[in-house]
Structure 1
Amino acid sequence: MTDDPGKPANAAGATGWKTIDRQLGPLHVRRIGAGLHEKKVWLLFDADLVFSGLSLATDGLGLGLSPAVIDGKAPDLTGTLKGLAVGYDSAALTVAGAVESRTPASGFDLDLAGGLVVRTEKFSLEALGSFRHATTGWFSLDVLGVLGAQLGEPPVFVVTHLAGGFGYNSKLRIPSLADVPNFPLLKAVQGGDLGSGTGSGGAAGGDEAGKLLGVLEQLRGDGGWITPSRGSFWAAAGLTFTAFEMITGEAVLALGLGGEVSLTLAGHANASFPSAKDVPAADGVRRYAEVDLDVLVGYRSSTHLFTARAQLTDQSYVLSRDCRLTGGMALDVWTGGPHGGDFVLTVGGYPDGYRVPAHYPAVDRVGVTWSPDSSVAVTGGAYCALTPHAIMAGGEIHIAYHSGSLRAWLDAGVHALVAWAPFHFDAGIRVSVGVQYTAHVLGWDITIGVHLMVGVDVWGPPTGGSAHAEVAGIHITVDFGEGRRAAPAPLDWTSFRHKLLPEKTLFLTPLAGINQPGAAESAGTWHAAAHGIRFSMRSAVPATSATLCGQPVDLKGTPVGLDIRPVGVTQAHCAHAVDITYHGDDGTRGPVSAKAWTVRAVQGQVPAALWGRPDGSGPALVPGHGLGMELTLRTPQLVNATEVPAGVLTHGDDLTAPLPLRP
């Protein structure tokens, strides 16, 4: 419970407090307060009662009396209680609970918070909750909990803590990768508690539940993780685990519903070699590697983005704690919106000089920094990235030695880029070594040294390259194969069709109204239900125009021409035509009118590597192209139907009447 100056739970007037701090047997009076509010005199108490392990604490317990009742009428008494805490503590069991009424925020008329702690020798449980009632009638409810118990069999996989929570008419803020270490549910499973400080084996305290209320205030405060949001819902579950006594981790999965759909997995993992079992801390034997990283995986419908991120923390090293590992990775896939169809997978970022699209994630280079002693320094980095039009990878390392007047160094680097549509590659490697010595002769500094550099670059098609060498300031270059072209030669249509397009370029997909789809697919025939059919047609080649049964389909916003970058063609025309023919049982055939169908054009973005301008200008994804159609057979309508009122229908009970059909 809090010790801040307070007021009656339903009062807004000032209250004066006097600290007593007196023990009267099992009763401990902390302070007494008095105040005047709404024409009543209030007398308030904050006190604790402890007896045989059982404790009871009040916050803002008081009685209000109207001084106007002096005319012999019954006194007008009003009670108030801001908060109440109950606890029991023994060697085998600890239980503590608290509930508190708080000053409601604007737009709310009731704000309650509660916490619960239960701990035995076998398990521990902590929970906290929040209830807020709005002045307009709706309410917001949040509940969080952590269970500490060992589940599973060591050493394969052991769960040590479980956490969960949900919120009704509430919204949970989605963390960024940088926020993952501070995500409250992840911190809960890491520490084994929600903030009471007892989940990892701490001593029991009489104010454990009160501490939980303080944690709740941090979660709901300004800039907090949980906020009331009418129509929203969230749920989360998490665990802490160890695997093979070498890997430890914590993970929390959170689902959010409401204005958007979000699914988030936030986690942290640590792996060391040798394991803690193989190298006990008391042995003083060092570990040779530790990888510690934060992980965030999620999808948000509002941005149409699936993302997976991981970042090494400053606890990661290899060989020695002085040999630090850094860097991260990211996978982003856009399922719709302005970047729909785009994706990027990168470990360590992108090569220098690459024009990174603004919507691609920024990722730190995977690197190593090591100083085994004061004279040697080692640094290095590496990257790999995959996009819809290319894959690129590379790395570099620098080793320097400096002792007195002697310096030596080794630099090495490699890079490679492979692009398609059309296919071409560019790769290179460089190695540079040198040594330098500075001598002091008759007051003069004389520096002598030698430097050697060799490198090779290759490209294609057509395949060619060059070799470079530098010794003592003399440069030597040897070219081989074909020279580097400013742009790859365009493909003819046949090569483009066979190399870059799928073997099947037209896709028909039933969406509704299909009976026995498995049998229909095996027979190559769809069996439509009586209430109608809906199917989609997609093409691997974008369209500039489309028709259904000879009638034009509106492709509003579609470019008038189609660019084909690998072929070097601009403003080409491609038409999608769908014709539907009736096949009668008597063998007759005939066209079906487009009026029987509802058609919706399917448009979207296409990769510029295939359908972009030949000069390489423009965005990586070209918007607005026609991708296909979605067709729906209109619902059959009754023609010339006659309505018969139920009142004109009669029936008889004569069982001797003739049957309508002969037996």
Structure 2
Amino acid sequence: MDKTAGPVHVGRVGAAYRSGSVLLLADVEASGGGLHFGTKGLGAEISLNNPGNPTFHLDGLSLGYSRPPLTIAGALVRRNMGKDYSLAVGGMAVVQTPAVNVTAMGFYAQKISGDPSLFCFGVLDLSRTSAGPPMFRLEKLAAGFGYHTQVRTPHIAEVRHFPFVKMLTATESVDDPLKQLDILLGGGWVTPASGEMWLAAGMEALVYELVDVSGVAIVQFGNELVAGLYGHAVAQFPKRPAMPWAELAVDVRAEYRSSSDALEIDAAVTDTSFVLDRNCKLTGGAAVRLWFGRSAHPGEFVVSVGGYHPKFVVPPHYPRPARLGFDWHLSDAIHAWGSCYAALTPHAFMAGINANLHGQWDSASVDASVYADALVEWDPFYFKVDWGGRISGTVWGITAEVGADGHVWGPPVGGVARVKIGRFGINVDFGADDPGDRVKLSPQDFRDRMLPGGIRPHGAPAAAGTAGSQDAKVVTLTASMGLLPSAPVSGTTEQTTAPAAGASWAFGVQEFACRVTTAVPLTSVRVNEVDILEGITRKTLDIRPMKATGISSSMKITVKHKETEVAAPVGPVPADSSMWGATLDVRGVPAALWDTTPMTFGGSGLVGGYASAITLTPPPASYTRKSLIPAKAVRRRSSIGMVAEKMARNYTCKNNDRLPAMSEKQLANVSATTAKQTRIAFLEALKALDIPGFSMDNLTQGLKENVFENGASGYVDALPQILEG
């Protein structure tokens, strides 16, 4: 309709018939005195059977005020989330002043059965003021949160379109926040998800008036932990407003997911980047991947800038960043382009470069190209470089070409070159032959250079007389779970979960496991004379830097009672309540160290079939009768740190065979005569139980008259090896 009458404007008017009812709809706006009021989808549903009882509804409502220097705008829009939701509303608000602007948007949805879902995200625009020194001037700040909602984080190609990032890079605070809200919800960036929550914080800053940086950090927690940083950076030289001769724009993404237990970092040069001339476009990307212990590729890593060696078969789980390069059309006749790369994998380092030039003038043309691709392997150091170049020219159909290519290897340095002039060519050998069977490390060199505890940084060897302590770094024993805090270090109040060297461990047998880790892979493991071989497929150990094969690498572990020295029964999986379990870690070790087969560029860079760690798990706890151990005795005989409680606790077991704790008030009401007789009998009973600490008179002296001097919290309810309270 689009009609105006005074301060009222009617945009759309409609009518419809549905299931015996007439629907009337209209969009109405009213303005006056700086105020603006609008509706969207205002309507009524009138039943023909009961016209006197119409049903009204409203799809959206907007409100605004504009009187310099203040502008306020806001809107609420009803959203259709399906039949499972009784209500779903999205909204936005904008406040503009000469100093700052505020833009915010949010969403709320209530399921018919279930918890509500909501989120809010806002941006504070400080670009009209000078917030911060010239070296780091804040332009915008952002923050947001979500409850029972989930954020779909962007891939590197989506970062520039990620709505949270776009709100920071928008040139105006009023860049249609409702449209951004539609993109967030309609594009699947934010969706309701029961049990999921997230927090977000972001900023835009101008660094040294040259680099404009925008980024949003998001942490999500619920079914999994997701922590990520997503942003965009633009650098212009020289700084604005001068005409630039170079501009570099980069999207950045860094993300960790607990479900995959991997860290991903990506960067990509955007298509607005150039150098020297806007026709000289820059391209490329970089990527880092770190796979941790619970991932599908534990211990593996890759760092790539611009991709990989041309002969490298990229494993499916590796990132594939674009080549770093340039593409420059100097004129209609001359075109230059080139690229470079560098990558680090578990078994090699690679790098390369190439450049090309083409010129065309009617019947004459010139072509030139150069390239170099290098591969570097680890200690013993070896490198090989493939290189080449050519130049050719054509005039009236006649072509002349000069070129050369070859290989350089070392150490010792040598190589071969092939020189070609037209149809004629010649090979030139120089230096040493290619050491296909390279110089190998001695066992001592391998120990010093490649294993933990060897030569220290800057070439400083391990101190004399510390061989044992250095070898202890090759094989380590750690508590993987169940370790209890040790007592505070003298002079401090802080507890630590790592006992001092040589100290006994305090642990709870209900959830305890220890892990033996070795830097040298194993081909056999025996625990208490029982072979634990599940997952081991290699019968001998290969050591590439030593050029050694057929080595036996075995480990024997003994688990026995400290006092009786009786060996505990052990099996791959606990078969009964008296057996220890032993589980091997066979998830792969670097092929660059532990495999002598010819290295290929494909695969993960890891070799399987070896064991690199053994996890030992004790049998389930065997519970005995109840007993009370005074905290003073426990402190004297154990490294476990304890803090007296101010409130009583009930230490009743599942089968209700424990004594309930007594509060200070309850203890004060106990008859003195009865208490004294009971305390004496109680102390004698403790001595008869042979509890550690009660055979020493200095611990029990003076306690007969005041056994409960610390109240109920002065005692620890305990089972053997399990201390509670």
Q: TM-score, normalised by structure 1?
A: 0.80
Give the C-alpha shift of residue 630 in structure 1. Answer: 3.4
Aligned in 2, Cα 1:298/1:653: closer, same or farther, shift over 3 Å?
A: closer
Give the C-alpha shift of residue 91 in structure 1. Answer: 0.6
Alpha-carbon distance between aligned partners in 2 of 1:238 and 1:262, rounded to the nearest angstrom? 16
Give the C-alpha shift of residue 169 in structure 1. Answer: 1.9
Match of 1:609 in 2: 592
Alpha-carbon distance between aligned partners in 1 of 2:38 and 2:381, rounded to the nearest angstrom? 76
Task: Say if 2:541 and 2:553, in contact at 8 Å, map to a contact too.
Answer: no
Q: 1:464 aligns with which of 405, 414, 417?
A: 414
Give the C-alpha shift of residue 418 in structure 1. Answer: 0.7
Q: Which has the higher strand share?
A: 1
Aligned in 2, Cα 1:528/1:121: closer, same or farther, shift over 3 Å?
A: same
Give the C-alpha shift of residue 318 in structure 1. Answer: 1.9
Task: Say if 1:111 and 1:132, in contact at 8 Å, map to a contact too.
Answer: yes
Give the AA of the match of 1:347: V
Task: Say if 1:47 and 1:57, in contact at 8 Å, map to a contact too.
Answer: yes
Give the C-alpha shift of residue 329 in structure 1. Answer: 1.2
Q: 1:372 aligns with which of 313, 320, 330?
A: 330
Match of 1:191 in 2: 170
**SS in structure 1 opposite 2:593?**
helix
Alpha-carbon distance between aligned partners in 2 of 1:131 and 1:656, rounded to the nearest angstrom? 62
Aligned in 2, Cα 1:39/1:374: closer, same or farther, shift over 3 Å?
A: closer
Which range moves more in the overlay, 85-94 or 636-645? 636-645
Task: Say if 1:342 and 1:621, in contact at 8 Å, map to a contact too.
Answer: yes
Match of 2:606 in 1: 621
Give a deviation string over 1:438-465, Cα, whole Å, max 9, x none: 3xxxxxx58475x544556322355432
Q: 2:301 aligns with which of 343, 359, 364?
A: 343
Task: Say if 2:203 and 2:216, in contact at 8 Å, map to a contact too.
Answer: yes
Q: Which runs of 5+ in 2 are unaligned?
A: 455-472, 491-495, 570-577, 628-656, 662-666, 681-703, 707-725
Give the C-alpha shift of residue 48 in structure 1. Answer: 2.4
Give a deviation string over 1:557-600, Cα, whole Å, max 9, x none: 2324244151556665422323357767xxxx946636586654
Alpha-carbon distance between aligned partners in 1 of 2:70 and 2:426, rounded to the nearest angstrom? 82
Match of 1:7 in 2: none
Match of 1:266 in 2: 230
Identity over aligned residues, as a percent? 31
Alpha-carbon distance between aligned partners in 2 of 1:636 and 1:340, rounded to the nearest angstrom? 32
Q: 2:428 aligns with which of 475, 478, 490?
A: 478
Q: How does 1:312-351 map to 2 (within 5 A)?
A: 312-335=269-292, 336-351=294-309
Give the C-alpha shift of residue 555 in structure 1. Answer: 4.7
Q: 2:568 aligns with which of 568, 583, 593?
A: 593
Please say if 1:244 is aligned against 2:208.
yes
**SS in structure 2 opposite 1:303?**
coil
Alpha-carbon distance between aligned partners in 1 of 2:519 and 2:489, rounded to the nearest angstrom? 25
**SS in structure 1 opposite 2:296?**
helix
Q: Which runs of 5+ in 1 are unaligned?
A: 1-18, 198-210, 439-444
Give the C-alpha shift of residue 543 in structure 1. Answer: 2.1
Match of 1:129 in 2: 106
Give the AA of the match of 1:183: F
Alpha-carbon distance between aligned partners in 1 of 2:164 and 2:100, rounded to the nearest angstrom? 19
Give a deviation string over 1:207-249, Cα, whole Å, max 9, x none: xxxx53343223222x431222222223322221111111112
Aligned in 2, Cα 1:470/1:553: closer, same or farther, shift over 3 Å?
A: same
Task: Say if 2:499 and 2:505, in contact at 8 Å, map to a contact too.
Answer: no
Alpha-carbon distance between aligned partners in 1 of 2:201 and 2:676, rounded to the nearest angstrom? 70
Give the AA of the match of 2:352: G
Match of 1:229 in 2: 193
Corresponding pairs, count: 604
Q: 2:536 aligns with which of 558, 571, 589?
A: 558
Match of 2:475 in 1: 506
Match of 2:182 in 1: 217
Which range moves more in the overlay, 330-339 or 568-577? 568-577
Q: How does 1:243-642 map to 2 (within 5 A)?
A: 243-276=207-240, 280-281=241-242, 286-335=243-292, 336-403=294-361, 407-420=365-378, 423-433=381-391, 436=393, 438=395, 447=398, 449=400, 451-454=401-404, 457-461=407-411, 463-471=413-421, 473-484=423-434, 486=436, 488=438, 493-502=443-452, 503=454, 504-511=473-480, 512-515=483-486, 524-529=501-506, 531=508, 535-548=514-527, 550-552=528-530, 554-564=532-542, 566=544, 567=546, 572-579=551-558, 590=565, 593=568, 599-612=582-595, 614-616=597-599, 619=603, 620-623=605-608, 625-631=610-616, 637-641=622-626
Give the AA of the match of 2:29: D
Aligned in 2, Cα 1:21/1:236: closer, same or farther, shift over 3 Å?
A: same
Which range moves more in the overlay, 138-147 or 414-423? 414-423
Aligned in 2, Cα 1:565/1:355: closer, same or farther, shift over 3 Å?
A: farther
Aligned in 2, Cα 1:471/1:136: closer, same or farther, shift over 3 Å?
A: same
Alpha-carbon distance between aligned partners in 2 of 1:596 and 1:347, rounded to the nearest angstrom? 51
**SS in structure 1 opposite 2:588?**
strand
Give a deviation string over 1:3-35, Cα, whole Å, max 9, x none: xxxxxxxxxxxxxxxx47241x44444455556
Give the C-alpha shift of residue 413 in structure 1. Answer: 2.4
Aligned in 2, Cα 1:593/1:228: closer, same or farther, shift over 3 Å?
A: same
Aligned in 2, Cα 1:493/1:614: closer, same or farther, shift over 3 Å?
A: farther
Aligned in 2, Cα 1:265/1:314: closer, same or farther, shift over 3 Å?
A: same
Give the C-alpha shift of residue 388 in structure 1. Answer: 0.5
Task: Say if 1:43 and 1:64, in contact at 8 Å, map to a contact too.
Answer: yes
Give a deviation string over 1:372-408, Cα, whole Å, max 9, x none: 3444432222111111100111112223455566655
Task: Say if 1:63 and 1:77, in contact at 8 Å, map to a contact too.
Answer: yes
Which range moves more in the overlay, 158-167 or 620-629? 620-629
Alpha-carbon distance between aligned partners in 2 of 1:51 and 1:179, rounded to the nearest angstrom? 43
Please say if 1:157 is aligned against 2:114.
no
**SS in structure 1 opposite 2:592?**
helix
**SS in structure 2 opposite 1:349?**
coil
Give the AA of the match of 1:397: A
Which range moves more in the overlay, 75-84 or 589-598? 589-598
Match of 1:58 in 2: 39
Task: Say if 2:560 and 2:568, in contact at 8 Å, map to a contact too.
Answer: no
Task: Say if 2:346 and 2:606, in contact at 8 Å, map to a contact too.
Answer: no
Aligned in 2, Cα 1:541/1:448: closer, same or farther, shift over 3 Å?
A: closer
Give the AA of the match of 2:3: D
Task: Say if 2:363 and 2:397, in contact at 8 Å, map to a contact too.
Answer: no
Aligned in 2, Cα 1:565/1:655: closer, same or farther, shift over 3 Å?
A: closer
Give the AA of the match of 1:605: G
Give the C-alpha shift of residue 544 in structure 1. Answer: 3.0
Alpha-carbon distance between aligned partners in 1 of 2:333 and 2:660, rounded to the nearest angstrom? 103
Aligned in 2, Cα 1:40/1:381: closer, same or farther, shift over 3 Å?
A: closer
Task: Say if 2:535 and 2:586, in contact at 8 Å, map to a contact too.
Answer: no
Please say if 1:145 is aligned against 2:122.
yes
Alpha-carbon distance between aligned partners in 2 of 1:35 and 1:407, rounded to the nearest angstrom? 71
Match of 1:109 in 2: 86
Alpha-carbon distance between aligned partners in 1 of 2:530 and 2:519, rounded to the nearest angstrom? 20
Q: CA RMSD in A?
A: 3.8
Task: Say if 1:514 and 1:528, in contact at 8 Å, map to a contact too.
Answer: no
Give the AA of the match of 1:480: F
Give the C-alpha shift of residue 486 in structure 1. Answer: 4.9
Aligned in 2, Cα 1:109/1:553: closer, same or farther, shift over 3 Å?
A: farther
Give the C-alpha shift of residue 540 in structure 1. Answer: 0.7
Task: Say if 1:563 and 1:614, in contact at 8 Å, map to a contact too.
Answer: no
Alpha-carbon distance between aligned partners in 1 of 2:350 and 2:168, rounded to the nearest angstrom? 38
